[in-house]
């Protein structure tokens, strides 16, 4: 591959063009298992890099503070209509710049600084913006946190209810970044009703699974659905907030002018395309294949003796505790990277180690499914992970190089969407 796929960029800035060409090669040749990443289609890439970049559009379709919005209004209205249709919601705001600003907008809409908010603790699988201490959401607001049971790795809904009734949080989040199991939105809704809380489902990780019918939808149960658009949904890096009509004004006002200025119109266009793609029958097949691959990979890892948090997965994500393999998560993640397998190190629930050097790694199947890998490939993926983790424990660099070559061969046989062919 070469930077010739971007001729204008190559002519203007060959140094930068070479970095992008190298990234294209890296994404083509490696087995990308970070569960929050994916490959967007060529159509999404094209829509995200257009002259829409040149336009300021503060406001909403038909209600802007700048003129010349004839086309931008159509782009945003189309994205909004597609989001409403796909997720079965009354209202969608497609302007949040990404997941963290989207969640912050929820606080702006429904709480005041100092109010109590509740979410899953970050080391248990939650997200920084669900009221965790080092985030502004945990210092400007009073965050109280729930977790999972030590014996099962599953959310203890009785404990969530006890905490909610004791604390009566203004906002309650469900969802997170390292949850391998189905979220019971109805159970959270019943608790939030009792506690008098606004319930937010942060479905960033599983939005594509919901769109494709491979995870239950929160739409009928929660007040607000927050999601990024670039994970299982396979769109550009952006976010959306969706809600019932009664909350529409509060959400829109919180995003603009409460928190943001002009929307990134080029991203809105990419989101519109991704939503169109996600509404096709092929995407339903994709979403179910992501889950089938994750279950097959979990089975193959269990067969090789790995410890998986909660014992497996219901969705796209697997959280591996490497303690019993005698290697820390960070060392394993870096060795896997040298073997051409890209993961992230991650805390596991009740981790005795520090977040920057935790006990686990987090993996997932959205990207490999986008390149057409199927359950029959998962035993070899598990074998590569096992060989690389063992090589990490022994410091066996040649073994990592052998895995890297094998990974490269399989990736070459399964080109990724959106990447230029060699």
Tokens 């995870």, residue located: 215
Q: What angle do the packed helices 329-338 and 378-394 form, to 10 degrees? A: 110
* 56 catalytic per annotation: yes
CB of 261 to ligand DSN, least distance (A): 22
Q: How many whole angstroms separate alpha carbon 5 and alpha carbon 405?
A: 25
Q: How many residues bind ligand DSN (CB under 6 A)?
A: 4
* 244 catalytic per annotation: no
CB of 64 to ligand DSN, least distance (A): 30
Q: How many whole angstroms separate alpha carbon 233 and alpha carbon 228?
A: 8
Q: Binding of ligand DSN at residue 365 (CB under 6 A)?
A: no
Q: How many whole angstroms separate alpha carbon 38 and alpha carbon 48?
A: 15
Q: Binding of ligand DSN at residue 177 (CB under 6 A)?
A: yes
CB of 369 to ligand DSN, least distance (A): 17
* 228 catalytic per annotation: yes
Closer to ligand DSN by Cβ: residue 36 or 197: 36
- Contacts of 83 by beta carbon, 8 Å cutoff, 6+ apart: 89, 92, 94, 240, 242, 271, 275
Closer to ligand DSN by Cβ: residue 57 or 227: 227
| Residues paired with residue 59 on neighbouring β-strands, in sequence order | 64
Rule CB under 6 A: choose which of 36, 293, 315, 369 binds ligand DSN: 36
Report in angstroms the alpha-carbon separations of 215 from 92, 271, 321, 358: 20, 21, 24, 29
* 409 catalytic per annotation: no
CB of 36 to ligand DSN, least distance (A): 3
Q: How many whole angstroms separate alpha carbon 319 and alpha carbon 386?
A: 14
Q: How many whole angstroms separate alpha carbon 252 and alpha carbon 268?
A: 15
Q: Looking only at residues 111 through 140 of this chain, which bind ligand DSN when binding is defined by CB under 6 A? A: 127
Q: Binding of ligand DSN at residue 238 (CB under 6 A)?
A: no
| Residues paired with residue 120 on neighbouring β-strands, in sequence order | 146
Q: How many whole angstroms separate alpha carbon 184 and alpha carbon 149?
A: 15
Q: How many whole angstroms separate alpha carbon 41 and alpha carbon 59?
A: 29
* 142 catalytic per annotation: no
Closer to ligand DSN by Cβ: residue 36 or 260: 36
Closer to ligand DSN by Cβ: residue 211 or 403: 211
Q: Of the residues 30, 137, 177, 228, which is catalytic?
A: 228
Q: Looking only at residues 277 through 336 of this chain, which bind ligand DSN when binding is defined by CB under 6 A? A: none
Rule CB under 6 A: choose which of 99, 101, 235, 349 binds ligand DSN: 99
CB of 127 to ligand DSN, least distance (A): 6
CB-neighbour burial class of residue 409 (10 A; exposed 0-12, middle 13-18, buried 19+): exposed
Sign, Cα dihedral of 120, 123, 129, 134: positive
CB of 33 to ligand DSN, least distance (A): 12
* 58 catalytic per annotation: yes
Nearest-CB residue for ligand DSN: 36
Q: Looking only at residues 53 through 82 of this chain, which bind ligand DSN when binding is defined by CB under 6 A? A: none
The token pair at 240 is 């959306």
Q: Among all residues, which ones are annotated catalytic? A: 56, 58, 202, 228, 231, 237
State the residues that interact with ligand DSN by CB under 6 A.
Answer: 36, 99, 127, 177
């Amino acid at each position: 591959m070469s930077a010739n796929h971007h001729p204008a960029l190559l002519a203007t800035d060959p140094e930068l063009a070479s970095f992008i060409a190298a990234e294209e090669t890296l994404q083509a040749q490696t087995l990308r298992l970070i569960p929050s990443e994916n490959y967007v289609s060529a159509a999404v890439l094209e829509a995200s890099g257009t002259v829409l970049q040149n336009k300021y559009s503060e406001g909403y379709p038909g209600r802007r503070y700048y003129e010349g919005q004839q086309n931008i209004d159509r782009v945003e209205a189309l994205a909004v209509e597609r989001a409403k249709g796909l997720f079965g919601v009354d209202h969608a705001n497609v302007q949040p710049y990404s997941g963290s600003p989207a969640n912050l907008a929820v606080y702006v809409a429904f709480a005041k600084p100092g109010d109590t908010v509740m979410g899953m603790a970050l080391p248990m699988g939650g997200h920084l913006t669900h009221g965790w201490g080092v985030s502004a959401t945990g210092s400007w607001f009073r965050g109280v946190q729930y977790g999972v049971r030590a014996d099962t790795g599953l959310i203890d809904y009785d404990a969530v209810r006890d905490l909610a009734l004791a604390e009566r949080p203004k906002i309650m989040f469900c969802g997170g970044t390292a949850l391998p199991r189905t979220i019971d939105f109805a159970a959270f809704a019943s608790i939030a009703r009792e506690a008098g809380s606004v319930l937010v489902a942060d479905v960033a990780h599983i939005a594509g699974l919901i769109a494709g019918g491979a995870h239950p939808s929160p739409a009928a149960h929660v007040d607000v659905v927050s999601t990024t658009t670039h994970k299982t949904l396979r769109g550009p890096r952006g976010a959306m907030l969706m809600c019932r009509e009664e909350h529409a004004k509060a959400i829109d006002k919180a995003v603009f002018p409460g928190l943001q200025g002009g929307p990134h119109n080029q991203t809105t266009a990419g989101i519109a395309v991704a939503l169109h793609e996600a509404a096709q029958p092929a995407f339903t097949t994709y979403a179910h294949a992501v889950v089938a691959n994750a279950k097959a990979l979990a089975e193959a890892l269990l067969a090789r003796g790995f410890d998986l948090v909660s014992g497996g997965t219901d969705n796209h994500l697997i959280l591996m505790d490497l303690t019993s393999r005698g290697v820390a998560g960070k060392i394993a993640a870096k060795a896997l990277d040298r073997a051409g397998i890209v993961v992230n190190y991650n805390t596991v629930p009740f981790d005795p180690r520090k977040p920057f050097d935790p006990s686990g790694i987090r993996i997932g199947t959205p990207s490999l499914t986008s390149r057409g890998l199927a359950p029959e490939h998962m035993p070899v993926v598990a074998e590569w992970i096992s060989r690389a983790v063992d090589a990490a424990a022994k410091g066996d660099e040649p073994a990592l190089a052998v895995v890297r070559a094998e990974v490269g061969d399989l990736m070459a046989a399964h080109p990724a969407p959106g990447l230029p062919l060699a």
